[in-house]
Amino acid sequence: MNRGLGTQLRHLIELLDGDVAQAYVEAGLDYLPRYTPVMRVLAAQQAATIGQIAQAAGITQPAATQTVARMKEVGLITRTRLYRFERTRMITSSTAAPTVTPRPWYQRFLGFALTRIVLGLVALALSAGVVSNVIRALVPKDVRMGWPSLVTAAVVLLVYIGWVRLTERRPVAELARPGAVREALAGLVGGFALVALVVALAAMAGVYYVAAAPGWSLLLLVPLAQMAFAGVIEETMFRGLVFRITEGALGTWPAVAISSVLFGLAHLSAGTGLLVVAGASVAGVLFAATYLLTRRLWLSIGVHAGWNYALGTIFSVPVSGQERGPALLVGRLTGPEWLSGGAYGLEASVLALAVVGVAATSLLWLAKRRNGGTLANRAHSG
C-alpha cells in the first residue's frame, strides 16, 4: 500500500462529503456536511460558544470558527451576547428562533454583570452568616471544633454552584470535582512556601525571631478548617464572581485590576495604611493568576488557605491584623513597620509585597504561556 490507512480514510470522507454536498445542491439546499456537527451540538445545548462547540463536536477551534462564520452567512445560526455588555457571544440555531419565548423578567434583570456580581456576593455572605449563626445557636461551644467552618464552606460552595446555574445556565466548570483535591493541596503547599520565604527574609532582616517553640498539637488543625473557610468564601466572592464576571464583560486585564483593588480595599480597616491596601491588592493579583492558570478555583482556594494558616498557625504572625492563636512557633515582629508590617503582620511589609509580586508575575506569565500566548479564556471565546 502506497498510502496509509488514515490518508485513505480522509480521502473517502472527502468523496462522501462531496457527494452529499452535491445532493444538497440538487435539492436546492444551501447546506454543507461540515455544518452537521455544529447543528448537533446546538440541538443538544440550544446555545453554546465557539469553544464549547469545538469541544463537544470534537473539532479544532479554528475549524469551528470557520464553520460558524459560513453558517452565519447563509443564515443557519445567529451570534448574540448572553448578557448585555459582555464580549462572549453565544451561537444559536436560527431555525429555533421562532420557538424561543421571551426571557423572564428576572433573566433580563440579571443581564447586567454588576447585578449578578452584587446579588451573588449578597447570596454568599448571607448563606455563610445564616449557617454560622445557626450552628452557634444550636451547638455548644465546646464541641464547635473546626467542623462548623467546613460545613459553612460546603454550603457556600453549594450556593455558588446554584447561583451560577441559575443566572448563567451552564455547568460550573470552575468547581469541577476531578483534580480538585490535587489542586487544593498544591495550593496549600504553595501558600506555605510563599510564607516561609517571607518569614525567612524577615528573619534575615532582623524583624522576625522565634521566642519559643511549643511544638505540634492536634488542636493546630482547627485553624486549618477556619482558614479553609476563609479561602472558600473569599475566592468564590472575588475570583469566582467579581473577577470571572468582570472578565466576561470587560476583558482579562481590567478584571485583574478591578478584582485586585476591591480585594485590597476589603482589607482596609481603622489604623491601616497604604502598605496594607497595596499588599492585599498584589495578593489579589496573585490569586487571580492562580485562577487564570487553571481556570478553576481550587488552586486559589488552596493558596489562600495555606498562606493564612502558615502565617498564623505555623509562624505565629498576625493574619490581616487579627490576634495570634495557638501556633507551632511563637514568633515576634520588631523593627520599622514598613519592614515588619507592625501590628497588622508581615502582609503589610515590603517583604511580602515583593515576594507576592514576583510570584504573581511569574504565574501570570506561566498562565499566558500555557494558554497559547494569551490570558483570555479560549473556552468561552466567541
- DSSP assignment string, 117-161: HHHHHHHHHHHHHHHHHHHHHHS-GGG-SSHHHHHHHHHHHHHHH
The answer to whether the CB of 292 falls within 8 A of the CB of 272 is no
Instruction: Indicate the domain borders of the chain.
Output: 5-106, 174-374
**DSSP characters over 261-273:** HHHHHHT--TT--
Query: Which parts of the chain fold into alpha helices (H)?
Result: 5-26, 35-45, 50-57, 61-73, 105-109, 113-138, 147-168, 180-204, 222-235, 244-250, 252-266, 274-294, 298-309, 337-340, 350-370
Rg of the chain, C-alpha, whole Å: 26
May I ask the CATH architecture of the domain 5-106?
Answer: Orthogonal Bundle (1.10)
Residue with cell string 447570596: 123
Q: Could you tell me the three cell numbers for 249?
A: 464583560
Please classify residue 97 by burial: count the beta carbons closer than 10 Å to its beta carbon, then call 0-12 exposed, 13-18 middle and 19+ buried.
exposed
Q: Could you tell me the three cell numbers for 154?
A: 460546603
Beta bridge partners of 236: none
Tell me, what amino acid is at 5? Answer: L
Walk along the chain (382 residues) and give the pLDDT tens digit of each residue: 455 666 666 666 666 666 666 666 555 666 777 788 888 888 776 778 877 788 787 787 777 888 888 888 777 788 776 555 556 677 887 765 444 455 666 667 777 889 999 999 999 999 999 999 999 999 888 888 889 999 999 999 999 999 999 888 888 999 999 999 999 999 999 999 999 999 999 999 999 999 998 888 888 899 999 999 999 999 999 999 999 999 988 999 999 999 999 999 998 875 677 888 999 999 999 999 999 999 999 999 999 999 999 999 999 998 887 877 788 888 999 999 999 988 899 999 999 999 999 999 999 999 999 888 878 775 544 4
Chain CA centroid to CA 230, Å: 15
**Rounded Cα gap, residues 98 and 59, in angstroms:** 29
So what's the pLDDT on residue 143? 83
**Rounded Cα gap, residues 258 and 42, in angstroms:** 34
Residue with cell string 493568576: 289
**Rounded Cα gap, residues 290 and 190, in angstroms:** 10
The model's pTM: 0.75
**Rounded Cα gap, residues 278 and 228, in angstroms:** 24
Supply the DSSP symbol for 101: P
Tell me, what amino acid is at 274? Answer: L
CA distances from 286 to 96, 150, 263 (A): 43, 24, 11
The answer to whether the CB of 199 falls within 8 A of the CB of 208 is yes
Beta bridge partners of 43: none
Q: Could you tell me the three cell numbers for 348?
A: 503589610
- For residue 78, the surrounding DSSP H or E stretch is strand 77-81
CA distances from 54 to 87, 165, 382 (A): 18, 22, 11
So what's the pLDDT on residue 207? 95
So what's the pLDDT on residue 279? 92
Q: What are phi and psi of 176, to 5 degrees?
A: -60, 145
Please classify residue 12 by burial: count the beta carbons closer than 10 Å to its beta carbon, then call 0-12 exposed, 13-18 middle and 19+ buried.
exposed
Beta bridge partners of 79: 91
Tell me, what amino acid is at 63? Answer: A
Q: Could you tell me the three cell numbers for 215?
A: 511544638
So what's the pLDDT on residue 1? 44
274 Cβ partners below 8 Å, 6+ apart? none
- Count other C-beta atoms under 10 Å from residue 165's C-beta: 12
**Rounded Cα gap, residues 92 and 81, in angstroms:** 11
